[in-house]
Amino acid sequence: MNHTHQYHSIDFTQYTGLVEHALSEDLGGEVDLQNDITSSWTLERDTPAQAHIVARTEGVIAGLELAQVAFTRLDSQIECSSAVRDGQRVEAGHVVMRIKGPARALLCGERTALNFLQRLSGVATQTRRFVDAIAETSARITDTRKTTPGWRHLQKWAVIQGGGVNHRIGLYDAVLIKENHAAACGGVAEAVRRVRTAAAQRGIDPPIFVEAETIQEVMSLTALDPDRIMLDNMSDELLLQSVEYIRAKSPSIVIEATGGYTVETVVTAAHTGVDLISIGSLTHSAPALDLSMLFE
Active site members: 111, 146, 178, 211, 232
Euclidean distance between CA atoms 134 and 193, whole angstroms: 36
Amino acid 96 reads V
Query: Is the Cβ–Cβ distance between 269 and 133 less than 8 Å?
Result: no
**Which residues are within 8 A (CB) of 47 and not within 5 positions of it... i.e. 6 or more apart?**
102, 103, 104
Radius of gyration of the chain (CA): 23
Cα 62-65-66 angle, rounded to 5 deg: 85
Cα 273-279-282 angle, rounded to 5 deg: 140
